[in-house]
Chain A
Amino acid sequence: MSTNNTTPVSVAAAPHVDYHHHEEPSFWRKYVFSPDHKVIGIQYGLTALFFLFFGFTLMMIMRWQLAYPEKAIPALQFVIPIAVIGLILLFLSKFKPSITMLMGFVFLGMAALVSYLTSGEERMPGGVMLPEFYNQLGAMHGTIMVFLGVVPLAVGAFGNYIMPLQIGAPDMAFPKLNMTSYWVYFIGGVTMLASFFVPGGAANSGWTSYAPLSVIATTGQTLWLIGMVFLITSSLLGSVNFIVTIIQLRAKGLTFMRLPFFVWAQFVTSFLLLLAFPPLEAAGVLQLMDRIAGTSFFMPAGLVVSGQQLPYTGGGSPLLWQHLFWFLAHPEVYVLILPALGIVAEIIANNSRKPLWGYKSLVFAVIFLGFMSFIVWAHHMFLTGMGTAISAFFQTTTMIISIPSVIILSVLFISLYGASLRFNTPMLFALAFLPMFGIGGLTGLPLGLAASDIPLHDTYYVIGHFHYVVAPGTIFGLFAGIYYWFPKFTGKAMNEKLGKIHFWGSFVCMNFIFFPMLIQGLAGVSRRLYDGGQQYAHAQGVLHLNEVTSVAAWVMALFQIVFIINLFLTLRKKEKVGDNYWEATTLEWSATTSPPLAHGNFATVPEVYRGPYEYSVPGHSKDYTPQNELVKA
Chain B
Amino acid sequence: MEIPYTVTARPETGLFNAKAGIWLFLASEVMLFGALFTTYILLRIGAPEWPHGELDIPLATLNTAVLITSSITMVMSWASLMMKDFKKYRIYMGATFLLGVVFLVIKAFEYGHHFGIGELPNKSTFLGIYFTMTGLHGLHVVGGMIVNAYFWGPGSKMWKTQPERFTNRVEVAGLYWHFVDLVWIFLFPVLYLL
Contacts and interface: CB of A to CB of B under 8 A. Distances in A.
A and B touch in the complex (CB under 8 A): yes
Interface of A: 1-4, 6-9, 11-12, 14-16, 19-20, 169-171, 173-175, 177, 236, 239-241, 243-244, 247-249, 274-279, 281-283, 285-286, 289, 293-297, 311-313, 315-317, 320, 324, 327, 599-602, 605
A522 to B, nearest CB: 36
Contacts of A324: 35, 39
Given A1-B83, A4-B85, A295 B39 contact: no
B1 A19 contact: yes
Contacts of B127: 295
Contact of B3 (A19, A277, A312): A19
A interface SS class: loop
Interface size bracket, B side = 35 or more
B121 A4 contact: no
B155 to A, nearest CB: 12
Given A2-B85, A11-B165, A282-B36, A295 B21 contact: no
Contacts of A599: 1
A572 B161 CA distance: 46
Contacts of A169: 3
A297 B159 CA distance: 47
Given A6-B86, A11-B7, A315-B43, A289 B132 contact: yes
Interface string B162-187: 11110000000000000000000000
A320 B45 CA distance: 13
A14 B161 contact: yes
Nearest to A290: B128
Interface string B59-85: 000000000000000000000000111
A552 B120 CA distance: 54
A6 B1 contact: no
Contacts, number: 175
B24 A297 contact: no
B118 interface: no
B123 A275 contact: no
The 6 closest A-B pairs by CB, nearest first: A600-B1, A294-B122, A295-B128, A282-B35, A278-B32, A2-B84
B117 interface: no
Contact of B8 (A12, A173, A281, A286): A12
A425 B32 CA distance: 43
Contacts of B31: 275-276, 278-279
Nearest to A599: B1
Contacts of B10: 248
A6 B160 contact: yes
Interface in B24-45: 24-25, 27-29, 31-36, 39, 42-43
A175 B3 CA distance: 9
Contacts of A279: 31-32, 34-35
B20 interface: yes
A6 B156 CA distance: 12
